[in-house]
Amino acid sequence: FSSPGYAFLLFREEASVHRLVKSCLSEEGKLYMFVSSLTQSNKKVQIRPWRLSDSDFIMDHTQPIDARKTIFIGGVPRPLKACELADIFNARYGNVCYAGIDCDPDLKYPKGAGRVTFSSRVSFMSAVSCRFLQVTYGDIDKKVEVKPYVLDDQICDECHGINCGGRYAPYFCGNIHCLRYYCEHCWAAVHS
């Protein structure tokens, strides 16, 4: 069988991760160790530990976090920390108040996606309008996808729950001129 070229290791204790990192060779800010197999001996492999505290970053503690001004970013380089993601989007669009890296719930390792919340609607709209952004991180140069972050448990923006008995809106219109949540009745009326 062919290997994907990477593996995930889960340790029972944090101390084991510290011992692994301590045993690594450090070159230009990257960690390596030598691993042998039946077909190859002493292959140099990169070790990329992930600190759970690097998953979330609040850039501006004075600003309330409005989830409706949040973007989803797909294709995020896996080593990128939330604070670095915040810096990239703040430099480009301004007014970032929060950034988060989506991690696999079992592996506790980045999935390659993230979220950024803005304190300004103008910054949010500018980011959503771009759709793609070229991100350079070390030797990784990647085009990431940017779109509105779709929230669960939202009331219809049109009728405020009146036409659907207060149930949550199952539809979201991702059109840049709309970006609203709708119940079935209002979706049919507005987007027919």
According to the 3-state scheme, what is the secondary structure of 66-87?
CHHHEEEEECCCCCCCHHHHHH
Amino acid at 1: F
- At 11 the pLDDT is 86
Q: Model confidence at 29, in pLDDT bands (50, 70, 90)?
A: confident
Q: How far apart are the first and last CA of the chain?
A: 50
Task: Write down all domains in the chain, each with its CATH number in brackets.
Answer: 1-49 (3.30.70.330), 52-148 (3.30.70.330), 152-192 (no CATH)
Place of tokens 């207060």: 166
**What CA–CA distance (Å, rounded) separates 125 from 16?**
44
Q: What is the pTM of this model?
A: 0.85
- At 22 the pLDDT is 96
What is the mean predicted confidence (pLDDT) over 89-118? 96
- At 188 the pLDDT is 96
What is the mean predicted confidence (pLDDT) over 1-13? 76
- pLDDT tens profile 116-138: 999 999 999 999 999 999 999 88
